[in-house]
Chains A and B, each alone.
Chain A
Amino acid sequence: MKEKLSAFKLHKTPQLILFVAFVIVTSLALYFSQKSVISFLLLLSSLLFLYYMNLKNRTKWMIGLILLFILIPFASSGGPAFQSYMEVATMVGIYVSMALGLNIVVGMAGLLDMGFIAFFAVGAYAYSIFATPQASNFMPFGHYPLDGNSFWAFLIIGAIAAAITGVLIGVPVLRVKGDYLAIVTLGFGEIIRIVFNNSDSPINFTGGAMGIASVAHPKIFGYELSFPNQFYFVTLVILLFTLFAVLRLERSKLGRSWKAIRENEIAAQAMGIPLVKTKLMAFALGASFSGMMGVVFAAKQQFIDPTSFTLMESFTILVMVVLGGMGSVPGVILGAAVVTILNLQVLTELTNWVNQLNLSGVVSIPDALSPAKMQKFIFGALLIIFALYKTNGLIPAKNRVFDEKKLASDKSNSKDNDPKGNPMTTLKDKDSKEQTKIYS
């Protein structure tokens, strides 16, 4: 059985046939059923199978993009649950993007940040304040609310605002390390939420605990985006941008210096890596991805208040990173998707099902045990299981594999520099004679 499986891992054609069949069956099931969470999840999981298939990277990307941009929105458009599927998919995109940002800080640079949601809040508030009349409370010029066209500019403004916040928090916070860093960031995360909570008097900046309502929907070419399926595409494009940025950073000089700092600060510094600057860069970049998604979140929800940015949210994102595999980009994507879907779809579906059973009198499960209330318990249990049995997460981080042949391509040149071949062997005899002379 095992041999057959490993043989299957190598063969492209049967893999591809099976994959296509799987995608077709799940898509059709999703399209023709009224509401089938299972087929929706199976269709999404085809992306995971794609990741493990033995294909060229470029082909995988092409197939993945077709699935994401065309097949998934189309297949889920068949039934009345279309918008709720798209809502879930959009939330997955938002959380994946944030988890990728946190992965830079925690996974790559090894800085345990427990207040990451603060940057998301900064992005969300940046757009909400200016896309509602709220801004006219304190802005001396301009007309507010800004209309939905400003959304696109605010994606960048939100990212920059979050990055600046990241640097401002980072400067004092990065003096401490390890557990202390976790505690200090946790504190700062809460401080930012409370600042938003209390900034309603004497000047009303943020609407305080009441939050900010009726945030303008984004507009593109005069066309207003208001449905989850439209946000799905917006999120997807931003997510892809984030993903490309993260993948490039990971293989670059910067990604290496983050990892070096994570592995050994003293050695990293001795190799010429400036610690504070490099750590701040990780903080700022991670924050900016989160801030960008904050803008999308605010525009999609149309209403934000401080309760969306609690400690629990910070933990949720951290759980995504740890569950998926710290420092592993595919792992973090999977982790974020699993946790978000578990939260938004599986648990709510289970709750509905249990409620129906309760109503029809088949069983009687007390309200306190309803699955939606077990969220924290399930997270906790998952974390314990992973800490015990799968420390490196769902898809553990892998080092990039360098191709020895490519690197050795101009071997002839290096041989010219070193005509004696290996100097270490050729000079050995002479050396030992010298040394015996010294000690005789």
Chain B
Amino acid sequence: MPILEVTNITKQFGGLTANSNVSMTVEEDSITAVIGPNGAGKTTFFNMITGVYQPTSGEIKLNNESIVGLKPDMVAKKGISRTFQNIRLFDEMSVIENVLVGMHSHLKANLLSILLDFPVTKKEEIEAEKEAYRLLEYFGLSSLLNEKACNLSYGAQRKLEIARALATKPKLILLDEPAAGMNPKETKELTEIIRQMGKEFHTSVLLIEHDMKLVMGISEHIIVLDHGEKIAEGNPDEIRSNQKVIEAYLGSAAVN
């Protein structure tokens, strides 16, 4: 059963068509990748799913429920979480606080319960802190918990962003170029994290990535965009041998 169903979405910025009639599905507990040359409309596509942009036309359904027209925070509450192409952490906050912010929508505390310091709120807060710590442990960041996010190394910041996204307990997590700027060793480690976390946290993964080794290695399904249109889709083997994809993106070198 598909967790995300995108049907014929189109996005126009004035005269520029960033996405036209793109359809796709993400199966539950699967890893799906969106690839394509720069400017193909991949990030716009992500931004429409997460509610940052509203599609000009088309339908997006999460678990058979339309999420078109919802604000990003509501989309996050429905169960879609994301990371950003250019890292967007809460720089001045500590590592663990970054993850705690991710838990925002699962905490029931309200103004009154905070001001009066209800025992329920206290307990909930402690539970959340422990859970955040466990997430950090999973990503190997637990020793840095009190460090400011901006002081982390690039690779650690990427990981923290994924940890924060997972803290929202998403049904679907969108990773926008998670391996950008990483060295081969870090990329390899990240590949393993992405492969594992789907199972560990019961979440489907949709990712944009230029690193073909990573994409071909972990995705079960690949969608190729070019000039805002879907030119191919299929499993890694099909994509690798697709003539259109080779011309538009991979180049003939990748095949040989």
Q: Give the residue of B52, B90, B94, B129 whose beta carbon is less than 8 angstroms from that of A407.
A: B129
Q: Give the residue of B73, B89, B188 whose beta carbon is less than 8 angstroms from that of A275.
A: B73
Q: Is B5 an interface residue (CB 8 A)?
A: no
Query: With A248-B114, A402-B145 known to touch, is A259 a contact of B133 (CB < 8 Å)?
Result: no
A270/B114 in contact, CB under 8 A: no
B114/A249 in contact, CB under 8 A: yes
A284 (CB) vs chain B CBs: closest residue: B111
Q: Please, how many angstroms separate the alpha-carbon atoms of A418 and B130 in the complex? A: 16
Collect the chain A residues with CB atoms within 8 Å of residue B236's CB: 438
Q: Please, how many angstroms separate the alpha-carbon atoms of A285 and B109 in the complex? A: 16
Q: Is A272 an interface residue (CB 8 A)?
A: yes
A438/B192 in contact, CB under 8 A: no
**Which secondary structure characterizes the binding site on chain B?**
helix
Q: Is A428 an interface residue (CB 8 A)?
A: yes
Q: Please, how many angstroms separate the alpha-carbon atoms of A249 and B112 in the complex? A: 10
Nearest CB of B to A180, in Å? 21
B101/A260 in contact, CB under 8 A: yes
Nearest CB of A to B98, in Å? 8
Beta-carbon contacts under 8 Å, B169-198 to A: 188-189, 191-193, 195-196
Q: Give the residue of A272, A407, A423, A438 whose beta carbon is less than 8 angstroms from that of B76.
A: A272
Beta-carbon contacts under 8 Å, B72-122 to A: 72-74, 76-77, 81-82, 84, 88-94, 96-97, 100-102, 104-105, 107, 109, 111, 114-115, 117, 121
Q: Is A432 an interface residue (CB 8 A)?
A: yes
B109/A253 in contact, CB under 8 A: yes
B73/A423 in contact, CB under 8 A: no
Nearest CB of A to B96, in Å? 5
B188/A432 in contact, CB under 8 A: yes
Q: Give the residue of A245, A264, A422, A439 whose beta carbon is less than 8 angstroms from that of B140.
A: A422
Q: Is B50 an interface residue (CB 8 A)?
A: yes
Nearest CB of B to A288, in Å? 11
B101/A428 in contact, CB under 8 A: no
B192/A428 in contact, CB under 8 A: yes
Q: What count of chain A residues pass the 8 Å CB interface test? A: 48
B146/A270 in contact, CB under 8 A: no
Q: Give the residue of A254, A263, A439 whose beta carbon is less than 8 angstroms from that of B90.
A: A263
Query: With A264-B88, A266-B52, A270-B50 known to touch, is A431 a contact of B76 (CB < 8 Å)?
Result: no
Q: Please, how many angstroms separate the alpha-carbon atoms of A266 and B87 in the complex? A: 11
B88/A266 in contact, CB under 8 A: yes
A434/B217 in contact, CB under 8 A: yes
Q: Please, how many angstroms separate the alpha-carbon atoms of A268 and B107 in the complex? A: 15
B94/A400 in contact, CB under 8 A: yes
Collect the chain B residues with CB atoms within 8 Å of residue A35's CB: none
A254/B111 in contact, CB under 8 A: yes
B89/A404 in contact, CB under 8 A: no
Collect the chain A residues with CB atoms within 8 Å of residue B101's CB: 256-257, 260, 268, 271, 273
A438/B88 in contact, CB under 8 A: no
Collect the chain A residues with CB atoms within 8 Å of residue B146's CB: 399, 401-402, 404
Q: Give the residue of A273, A410, A439 whose beta carbon is less than 8 angstroms from that of B73.
A: A273
Nearest CB of B to A358, in Å? 50
Q: Give the residue of A256, A266, A401, A418 whose beta carbon is less than 8 angstroms from that of B100.
A: A256
Q: Give the residue of B74, B97, B193, B217 whose beta carbon is less than 8 angstroms from that of A256.
A: B97
Query: With A269-B71, A270-B82, A427-B196 known to touch, is A252 a contact of B114 (CB < 8 Å)?
Result: yes
A439 (CB) vs chain B CBs: closest residue: B213
Q: Is B142 an interface residue (CB 8 A)?
A: yes
Collect the chain B residues with CB atoms within 8 Å of residue A414's CB: 134, 137
Most buried by B among A400, A402, A435: A402
Q: Is B125 an interface residue (CB 8 A)?
A: yes
B109/A252 in contact, CB under 8 A: yes
Most buried by A among B73, B117, B148, B213: B73
A271/B88 in contact, CB under 8 A: no
Beta-carbon contacts under 8 Å, A419-440 to B: 422-424, 427-428, 431-432, 434-435, 438-439
Collect the chain B residues with CB atoms within 8 Å of residue A262's CB: 92
Collect the chain A residues with CB atoms within 8 Å of residue B32's CB: none
Sample of 11 A–B contacts (CB below 8 Å): A253-B109, A253-B125, A260-B101, A262-B92, A266-B72, A270-B81, A271-B167, A423-B196, A427-B196, A428-B192, A431-B195
Extra contacts besides A402-B96, A438-B213 (18): CB < 8 Å: A249-B115, A254-B109, A256-B97, A263-B89, A269-B71, A269-B73, A271-B73, A402-B146, A408-B133, A408-B137, A424-B196, A427-B192, A428-B189, A431-B191, A431-B195, A431-B217, A435-B217, A439-B213
Q: Which 4 A-B pairs have the closest CB atoms?
A: A272-B105, A272-B76, A263-B90, A407-B133
Which residues of B come within 8 Å of A, CB atoms? 50, 52, 71-74, 76-77, 81-82, 84, 88-94, 96-97, 100-102, 104-105, 107, 109, 111, 114-115, 117, 121, 125, 129-130, 132-134, 137-138, 140, 142-143, 145-146, 148, 164, 167-168, 188-189, 191-193, 195-196, 200, 213, 216-217, 236
